[in-house]
Amino acid sequence: MKRIFLAMERELLVIRQSDKNSLTVKERLTGMQPICVAVDPYSPERIYCGTFARGLWRSLDGGDHWVPIGDPHLSMASVLEGGILHPHITSLAISREKGAGDYGTLYAGTEPSALFCSRDGGETWRELKSLQHLPSAPTWSFPPRPHTSHVRWITPDPLEPARLHVSIEFGAVIRSLDQGESWSDRKFRSPKDAHTLIVHPQNPDRIYAACGDGYLEKGCGYAESRDGGETWHYVGEGLKHHYLYGLAVDPGDPETILVSAASDPGSAHNPKQATSRIYRKKGKEPWQEITQGLPPATGTVIPLLATHQGEAGVFYALTNQGLYCSPDQGSSWVRMEVPWKEEYINQHQQAIAVTEN
């Protein structure tokens, strides 16, 4: 059975798909403003959801029931044990480095920018404080809230779990080789506004990044590193819209890349003026816009893209117009039969995760 988690503005949708024509949808965490979702690779029934202002939540039954965890405001015990000091959970990731029990190592990023780690399934937490001492840290600033910044994305290396890549919005892409104990600051010409970072299991030294940098400097929307984050280059040929947000890479082909794009942040994120698109790049070919089966660009909030490691060639796109699936490397899309509230059209979707039991 496949499960898909959709973080909308006010609730988390938990979708179960037993076959192509059989979907069940449940609303969970209503009113909690979910922001990010992560599934433990060693225990797919163990799901984590980060919210804005309401902390981190955990489900042990695949998303049916949820409890808050890691919140220092809930009890003094969690403070003593080491909780997450901020209620705005902006990113989650689980590495294949096993901690205590059959759990992957869980990382949670927050606003203001801080990174926390749990090796016991979220029971106790430790802040990775060296992040705060990077030379670039005083310059980090999120334009809509310039007094602060946040950890936008966390990407553990799928083959070397001690290696982490983290994006700070806005300010830096940084790297750790020791599970976050120490960090290398941003490299020359590396992105400052990477919205999504991906490492492919077939080539973990290659880092893909969909960036907002292209809004400020044309041609810098899509970035890559081929040496584990030491050096970076930008690939913009074919892109007509340079503010990039969503990103996914074919699990079976590291040369097939999809991104979502808009002309500027307003066109990307404001439902009242949204105009966005999806582009695909295959190998050395230039980027090409993909349209077949997707909603019209006008009125579409910038899509979030996802894949599942067990489905080569399959992509998912979450938009304010619905959930879409492509079985052919993004060439064509079909809208999935998920009940869609009218209010979703005027919202900004937050996250998507796909897994199987």
Q: Give residue-wise pLDDT tens across range 138-157.
A: 999 999 999 999 999 999 99
* pLDDT tens, position by position, 224-234: 999 999 999 99
Each residue of 222-231: b (16+ CB within 10 Å) or e? bbebeebbee
Query: For 171-182, what is the mean pLDDT?
Result: 97
Query: For 198-209, what is the mean pLDDT?
Result: 96
User: pLDDT class for 79, splitting at 50, 70, 90?
Assistant: very low
> Which value, in Å, is the radius of gyration of the alpha carbons in the chain?
19
Question: Which of 54-63, 95-104, 259-268, 291-300 shows the lowest mean pLDDT across its residues?
Answer: 95-104
Q: What is the pLDDT of residue 46?
A: 96
Q: What is the mean pLDDT of the chain?
A: 95
Strands 277-282 and 256-262: antiparallel
In eight-state DSSP terms, residue 301 is P
Best CA proximity match to 107, nearest among 170, 53, 44, 181: 181
* 3-class SS of residue 165: strand
User: pLDDT class for 199, splitting at 50, 70, 90?
Assistant: very high
What is the Cα–Cα distance from 210 to 155, expressed in whole angstroms? Answer: 13
Q: What is the pLDDT of residue 266?
A: 98
Q: How far is CA 110 from the centre of its chain?
A: 13
Question: Which of 13-27, 63-77, 94-108, 269-283 shows the lowest mean pLDDT across its residues?
Answer: 63-77
Q: What is the pLDDT of residue 321?
A: 98
CB atoms within 10 A of CB 98: 14
Q: Residue 97 pLDDT more than 60?
A: yes
Query: For 254-275, what is the mean pLDDT?
Result: 98
Q: Is 300 exposed, middle or buried (0-12, 13-18, 19+ CB in 10 A)?
A: buried
Q: What is the pLDDT of residue 254?
A: 98
Structure tokens at 347: 């919202």
Q: What is the pLDDT of residue 81?
A: 53
Structure tokens at 265: 């942040």
Amino acid at 142: F
Query: For 309-338, what is the mean pLDDT?
Result: 98
Q: Residue 80 pLDDT more than 50?
A: no
What is the Cα–Cα distance from 47 to 273, expressed in whole angstroms? Answer: 34
Contact between residue 58 and residue 69 where contact means Cβ atoms under 8 Å apart: yes
What is the Cα–Cα distance from 299 to 54, expressed in whole angstroms? Answer: 30
Amino acid at 130: S
What is the Cα–Cα distance from 269 to 126, expressed in whole angstroms? Answer: 33
Q: How far is CA 134 from the centre of its chain?
A: 23
Q: Residue 161 pLDDT more than 70?
A: yes
Q: Residue 77 pLDDT more than 80?
A: no
Structure tokens at 223: 């970035």
Q: Kindly report the length of the chain.
A: 357
Q: Residue 21 pLDDT more than 80?
A: no
Q: What is the pLDDT of residue 72?
A: 56
Q: Is 338 exposed, middle or buried (0-12, 13-18, 19+ CB in 10 A)?
A: middle
User: pLDDT class for 110, splitting at 50, 70, 90?
Assistant: very high
Torsion of CA 68, 74, 75, 78, to 10 degrees: 50
Q: Residue 20 pLDDT more than 80?
A: no
Q: How far is CA 63 from CA 92, 312, 357, in A?
A: 16, 25, 12
For the whole model, what pTM was predicted?
A: 0.95
CA quadruple 214, 218, 219, 220: dihedral sign: negative
What is the Cα–Cα distance from 70 to 66, expressed in whole angstroms? Answer: 13
